[in-house]
Amino acid sequence: MDRPVHRVSMGDPWSRRVHPDIASERHTQSFDVEQLTNILDGGAQNTALRRKVESIIHSDPVFNLKDNYFMSQNERYEASVQKKFHIQKIAERLGWLQDSHELHYASRTLSGDLALGLHYIFVKALKSLGSDEQIAKWVPLCNNFQIIATYAQTELGHGTYLQGLETEATYDADTQEFVLHSPSITAIKWWPGDLGRSATHALVQAQLMCSGARRGMHAFIVPVRSLQDHNPLPGITVGDIGPKMGFEQTDNGFLRLDHVRVPRENMLSRFAQVLPDGTYIKLGTPQSNYLSMVVTRVELLLDEITPLLQKACVIAIRYSVIRRQSQLRPSDPEAKVLDYQTQQQKLFPQLATAYAFHFLAKNLLEFFHRSYNAILNRDFSLLPELHALSSGVKAMVADFCTQGAELCRRACGGHGYSKLSGLPSLVTRVTASCTYEGENTVLYLQTARFLIKSYLQAQASPGATLQRSFPQSVAYLTAPDLARCPAQRAADFLHPEVYTKAWAHVAVRLIKDSVHHLQTLQQSGADRQEAWNQTTVIHLQAAKAHCYYVTVKSFTEALEKLANEPAIQQALKRLCDLYTLHGILSNAGDFLHDGFLSGAQVDMMRTAYLDLLRLIRKDAISLTDAFDFTDQCLNSALGCYDGNAYERLFHWAQKSPTNTQGNPAYEKYIRPLLQSWRPKL
């Protein structure tokens, strides 16, 4: 079977043929893979544009990723900066605009292996929090790279708890300046990407002090390095935080401020202003300063976190059809590893999750776009739901993608431990998502607060009027509850209405339970804060169930839109079924607790679940091919489209500097040791 031109590998001689074990998987496809790719891309025109960008990138030797695994941290950093500015030259030559599809696809093609990612976080924060005048001044400077910016929020002693940030910005009315200062070692900004070696400016989140009062967190544009010689400016101590678990190409940095002065105009002022005399004017809610975090959180789901699990699935599933091990019957040849049910049970739920999260992230992005312009115009009615939904979804996606990528790595056995497989890099990269843009447990609890408030509101004002005005993501709290699951046979559990209501029931019960425990503690004399702390594990459980329900509902709604593509709809419905049933079986106690499910029903569900593994097995390669990652983008010896994993792994290993640069330890230690024994032999 010939390879599609857009997927042709890295020019390796064996790429002219496809491994027969993977070719046989593609021989009979139950659906049009190209059409599914178009659906995932949002249209055939987007697929065509993405492939055009990929062709431009892959034809340029500057963008080669193959040597990444053999580079030092300094080499990775320099290469990522080189790629970034080479991309900018191409963009200027071809007329690609900032925030364009072309630049987005270029970043996807290079697996995000580009410097200055926080430069764009700065721009997004500026557009969210800055006035029109500030946007007009600073955005062109960023777009033209007259400055290089970063976003400095996290401190050595504080991360997700933003109210605890210690960095101070004190207004001096005499000079009309803000004085930014790190009052302690724990107030040092720590972790901002691009700060360590690259940035000239930082958007510093600091506690505003003006007219003798503390006004909470606000954002300030602070120059940190000279535009002439790149040296730190007076009062600035800045550098790189050192080796990390991953992201070797990124210069995460620290920033200590010693009474650094910036003009009054450098405080972003869409939602709050300080007048020349120090008068403070609030134009938004206290939560409006978090808008830039919401923007970043929503976009990361689709652009950064979910693709990491998708890639892990592609690599592990492709490798699992060319890896043969043991026999299913004594007279048979060794079987493909993917033919074993245990391997399917490891990998197919991860594939189902990758698809579920794609549609969930798309759905959340649509809601975000509907809300964003209203928020910028100071209509904050949708902000609480947007914050709660984006918080819980980010936590869930990061958790499940991290667990899933590691399961994919383990499913590849010993070769999955090799960096050349591409899997360790995916695991370390996605692991970071559990912390950045909000630590997951804290984010779940943000969602839980919204759920409790919504539940109490639903109980206080039942009726049709409330249903119409209630936030859509929690509308199920106002719907009639189903006390018992009506399923009577295994096939009944494959009806979306049945399993969606099952998740709604459990989410409602757990939210109700969390409210009950909270109220019981308060009625027994505990204050509100203590009662909350003593019930957070229960709130966490409720928030997770809510997020799973939202994901299932999103997936089923996406399937309804595919009625004109019945073959694709059927293949994706099996994944939706598997995702939902896997979640129920993994949390069976929650469904058995109040008798919603019986033990016999759980047994029936397991039968349906195991049958799905067998059905999905037939489409596994097609479903991973539909993600349409090029070999260069995957950068995996195990996961290339042609399936020639062993040839590629051996070839890449031989290129390692440990095999090409000699062995200095031999001359220094091994040779003298061996020769010291020679007279005695």
- Catalytic residue ranges: 437
Distance from C-alpha of 322 to C-alpha of 89, rounded to nearest angstrom: 41
* Residue whose C-alpha is closest to residue 511's, from 484, 549, 485, 461: 549
* Residue whose C-alpha is closest to residue 316's, from 434, 429, 424: 424
Contacts of 237 (CB under 8 A, 6+ apart): 254, 255, 256, 258
DSSP, residue by residue, 61-75:
GGG--GGGGG--HHH
Distance from C-alpha of 423 to C-alpha of 679, rounded to nearest angstrom: 48
Answer for the pair 257, 236: CB distance below 8 angstroms, yes or no.
yes
The CA-atom distances, in angstroms, between 410 and each of 276, 308, 405, 421 are 60, 15, 9, 11
Distance from C-alpha of 395 to C-alpha of 215, rounded to nearest angstrom: 29
Distance from C-alpha of 277 to C-alpha of 227, rounded to nearest angstrom: 31
The CA-atom distances, in angstroms, between 235 and each of 74, 191, 262 are 27, 19, 12
* Residue whose C-alpha is closest to residue 448's, from 504, 521, 403, 391: 391
DSSP, residue by residue, 432-453:
GGGTTTS-HHHHHHHHHHHHHH
Distance from C-alpha of 389 to C-alpha of 487, rounded to nearest angstrom: 30
Distance from C-alpha of 546 to C-alpha of 477, rounded to nearest angstrom: 10
Work out the number of other CB atoms within 10 angstroms of the CB of residue 679: 6
Distance from C-alpha of 448 to C-alpha of 644, rounded to nearest angstrom: 48
Answer for the pair 424, 430: CB distance below 8 angstroms, yes or no.
no
Alpha helices for 526-565 (secondary structure H)? 528-533, 536-560
The CA-atom distances, in angstroms, between 96 and each of 93, 110, 318 are 8, 17, 34
How do beta strands 201-210 and 168-172 pair?
parallel
Contacts of 280 (CB under 8 A, 6+ apart): 208, 210, 211, 213, 215, 272, 273, 274
DSSP, residue by residue, 442-502:
HHHHHHHHHHHHHHHHHHHS-SHHHHHHS-GGGGGGGSPP-SS----SGGGGG-HHHHHHH
